[in-house]
Amino acid sequence: MTLAESLAKQQRSISVAEFFEKNKHLLGFDSPTRGIITTIKEAVDNALDACEEAEVLPDIYIAIKKTGKDVFRIIVEDNGPGIVPENVPFVFGKLLYGSRFHQIRQSRGQQGIGISAAVLYAQLTTGVPTTVISRTGHDLPAYFFELMIKTEKNEPHIIKKEIIDWDRTHGTRVEIEFKSNLSAKRRLLDYLKYTAVVNPHARIQADIDGEMLTFERATNETVTPPQAIAPHPYGTEFGQLKRMASVSDETVFAFLTNGFSQVGKKSAQDILGIARIKETRKANRLKTKDLKALLEAMQSVHIPPPPASQCLSPIGEEMIVSGLDKEFQLDFVKAKTRKSQVFSGHPFIVEAAIGYGGKLDQEGSARLLRFANRVPLIYQQGACAITNAISEVNWRSYNLSQQGLPTGPILILVHVASTNVPFTSESKDAVAAISEIEREIVLALQDLGRELKTYISRRDRNKQDENRARAICSILPEIAAKVSEIVGKPVPDISPLEGQIMRRVICRKKTDNGMVKISVANYTAKPVTVMVYAVSADTAKDASVPPDFVDSIGEEFNKVWRCEVASQGTWEVTYTGTLGGSIDLRGVDEKMKVVVDVDI
């Protein structure tokens, strides 16, 4: 026997389940810790995709229950359209099975691997079968399954299948049990929070081993699901064209106009003219030579880019801004949705946002929020084209310090939406380095960087103005004393002047000739609504503006006025009264108010 013959005995085909069982880190199951997030992410992706297709408002329940030492049971239930019982075993018990792989449109799932990988991981680590309940309508029964995967064949193994009672009229529930631990809980919470931010139409409830969390719906509008489009001529490869042509029974003219995106009659005529192919020839009769000429012609004629608005679903600037602001209470936040672009024929849109100040950490690198097709990316930040593109921007020119990433109280969100997001691995943690995508991210961030620079300069200028004003105010008393000494008059009250210089709200009380006068002057740039509290023995029954509220405290009266004062405006009240008592102003920041009681 030759060596080749003995080697031949060892050669055999490897099932895709065997491959991913051995290389489970490629699917995001490289550590027990990660397994939980990966599984929930895949199940929630499926739930959100299905609800979007059914145009129902998603109602998702997630539970993580410790069932033994280092063993957790993950439950995800949704109110989606459900899965027909014939397909349940394949959706959960076969890797590379799905509905979205062959469609050209934005969706969260795109590989047909996700949830079945979790089933595989469960049977590998605990041997516990996965249970699935699914129901496709109120007039149809709910089916219960116990499933595993035949690893050597990559086929589902149905252990139990039965009809059960279920309170949902439609939806799916999956329970998967594997070795894990909750040490990545912070990341899990981030994942849930960010998912809620970009899916404001979803209600998400989570029971994390007893700790209950609810992310309420922020809108009752369903998301219109992106529509699938045909392939675009510019992104078509020879092998793909050949395959499409071989299964077509149309003329080559109809094949072009029906089979490709954005190819109208005029374009088809131009293409066939250049390729020197008669319009009436059957597509499936074209020879290799003809197909090569056809492809070259298809890619030389001007054809509009793919209809991105139809097949893509960006989050939108408004929603990004409100989501971030709600979460981080930022001093500055702007978002930018770029126009759609194309890489290798796949349309994509980049969205980005920058947040500054607020609850962000003052120190350290920028906080990154990465999203792909509305799904938060949690792991492998360093390997991601998004991170790379952010580091490529010269942040110093926007007055930020930078060590690769910009540093300081800054947050950067980037969302890449595409009909085919190029991930660096099946675990979908990081976007691959595609230059077209990186370029769009850089352009979006440069736009936002300029706006941030304007904001920071203005803020710094304001601070400078304030410092200058403070300096002036600090010498005002001396000037006043000097001047009054020279002219031989008493020292004047300079507080309104200070208020004016410092751009503050001044409340003054002065008693003169048995009359009390309270005034509120607003030197800020915005109108204010404030409450004036005056406590004294005076009843103020004859007040020029009656108090909104009067309360007696022992022998004194607490008089309260609610007053709106325009920018640069003044509000006033007078009443009969005597010296004494106290005054206060509320409803305006402590640093912004000056209260002066000039009774002496």
579 lies in the site for its own copies, by CB under 8 A: no
Residue closer to its own copies by CB (options 20, 255) is: 20
Q: How many residues bind its own copies (CB under 8 A)?
A: 75
State in angstroms the smallest separation of the CB of 232 from its own copies.
Answer: 15
Residue closer to its own copies by CB (options 325, 426) is: 426
Q: How far apart are CA 206 and CA 63, in angstroms?
A: 6
State in angstroms the smallest separation of the CB of 53 from its own copies.
Answer: 7
Residue closer to its own copies by CB (options 14, 566) is: 14
Stretch that binds its own copies, among 13-21, 314-322, 473-481, 528-536 (CB under 8 A): 13-21
Among 426, 447, 584, 599, binds its own copies (CB under 8 A): 426
Nearest partner of 594 among 491, 502, 464, 471, judged by Cα: 502
Q: How far apart are CA 66 and CA 59, in angstroms?
A: 23
Nearest partner of 311 among 225, 436, 440, judged by Cα: 225
Residues 265 and 233: beta-carbon distance below 8 Å: no
Among 38, 106, 126, 524, binds its own copies (CB under 8 A): 126
Among 33, 53, 65, 476, binds its own copies (CB under 8 A): 53
Residues 583 and 518: beta-carbon distance below 8 Å: yes
Residue 341 C-alpha from the chain's centroid: 21
Residue 163's beta-bridge partner residues? 143
Residue closer to its own copies by CB (options 99, 269) is: 99
Using DSSP bridges, classify how beta strands 410-418 and 367-372 pair: parallel, antiparallel or unpaired: parallel
The token pair at 12 is 């055999």
38 lies in the site for its own copies, by CB under 8 A: no
Residue closer to its own copies by CB (options 14, 483) is: 14
Q: How far apart are CA 583 and CA 344, in angstroms?
A: 71
State in angstroms the smallest separation of the CB of 237 from its own copies.
Answer: 5
Stretch that binds its own copies, among 91-99, 209-217, 485-493, 540-548 (CB under 8 A): 91-99
Residue closer to its own copies by CB (options 337, 373) is: 373
Among 91, 196, 277, 563, binds its own copies (CB under 8 A): 91
Among 208, 213, 254, 383, binds its own copies (CB under 8 A): 383
90 lies in the site for its own copies, by CB under 8 A: yes
5 lies in the site for its own copies, by CB under 8 A: yes
Residues within window 154-183 making contact with its own copies, judged by CB under 8 A: 170
The token pair at 279 is 């319009």
Residues within window 266-305 making contact with its own copies, judged by CB under 8 A: 288, 291-292
DSSP string, 299-362: TTS--PPP-HHHH-----HHHHHHHHHHHH--SEEEEEEPPPEEETTEEEEEEEEEEESTTS-S
Stretch that binds its own copies, among 95-103, 191-199, 299-307, 347-355 (CB under 8 A): 95-103
Among 89, 231, 357, 422, binds its own copies (CB under 8 A): 422
Among 67, 70, 127, 304, binds its own copies (CB under 8 A): 127
State in angstroms the smallest separation of the CB of 10 from its own copies.
Answer: 4
Q: Which residue has the tokens 């990081």?
A: 430
Residue closer to its own copies by CB (options 8, 475) is: 8
118 lies in the site for its own copies, by CB under 8 A: no
- What lies within 8 Å, CB to CB, of 452 at 6+ separation is 332, 334, 354, 356, 398, 400, 410
452 to 84, 329, 354, 449, 464: CA distances (angstroms): 51, 16, 8, 5, 18
558 lies in the site for its own copies, by CB under 8 A: no
State in angstroms the smallest separation of the CB of 456 from its own copies.
Answer: 26
Mask: binding to its own copies, 224-263, rule CB under 8 A, as x and -? Answer: -------------xxxx-xx--------------------
Residue closer to its own copies by CB (options 106, 536) is: 106
Identify the H or E element spanning 276: none
Residue closer to its own copies by CB (options 102, 489) is: 102
One-letter-per-residue 3-state SS of 136-205: ECCCCCEEEEEEEEECCCCEEEEEEEEEECCCCCEEEEEEEEEECCCCCHHHHHHHHHHHHHHCCCCEEE
Residue closer to its own copies by CB (options 440, 498) is: 440
State in angstroms the smallest separation of the CB of 137 from its own copies.
Answer: 5
Using DSSP bridges, classify how beta strands 528-536 and 341-343 pair: parallel, antiparallel or unpaired: unpaired
264 lies in the site for its own copies, by CB under 8 A: no
Among 269, 388, 539, 574, binds its own copies (CB under 8 A): 388
Residues 185 and 167: beta-carbon distance below 8 Å: no
Among 210, 220, 382, 486, binds its own copies (CB under 8 A): 382
Within 10 Å of residue 87's Cβ, how many Cβ atoms?
A: 12
477 to 467, 482, 486, 502, 595: CA distances (angstroms): 17, 9, 14, 15, 17
State in angstroms the smallest separation of the CB of 175 from its own copies.
Answer: 18
State in angstroms the smallest separation of the CB of 54 from its own copies.
Answer: 5
Among 57, 65, 97, 222, binds its own copies (CB under 8 A): 97
Residue 239 C-alpha from the chain's centroid: 37
Among 39, 46, 116, 123, binds its own copies (CB under 8 A): 123
21 lies in the site for its own copies, by CB under 8 A: yes
Among 28, 35, 58, 98, binds its own copies (CB under 8 A): 98
432 lies in the site for its own copies, by CB under 8 A: yes
Q: How far apart are CA 298 and CA 267, in angstroms?
A: 9
347 to 43, 236, 419: CA distances (angstroms): 26, 13, 6
Q: How far apart are CA 143 and CA 100, in angstroms?
A: 23
Residues within window 325-364 making contact with its own copies, judged by CB under 8 A: none
State in angstroms the smallest separation of the CB of 443 from its own copies.
Answer: 21
Stretch that binds its own copies, among 14-22, 181-189, 274-282, 494-502 (CB under 8 A): 14-22
Residues within window 54-83 making contact with its own copies, judged by CB under 8 A: 54, 81-83
Instruction: Tell me the H-state helices in 488-585.
Output: 495-502
Sheet holding 515-522, edge to edge: 570-576, 515-522, 505-512, 593-597
Identify the H or E element spanning 218: none
124 lies in the site for its own copies, by CB under 8 A: yes
Q: Which residue has the tokens 């947040």?
A: 355
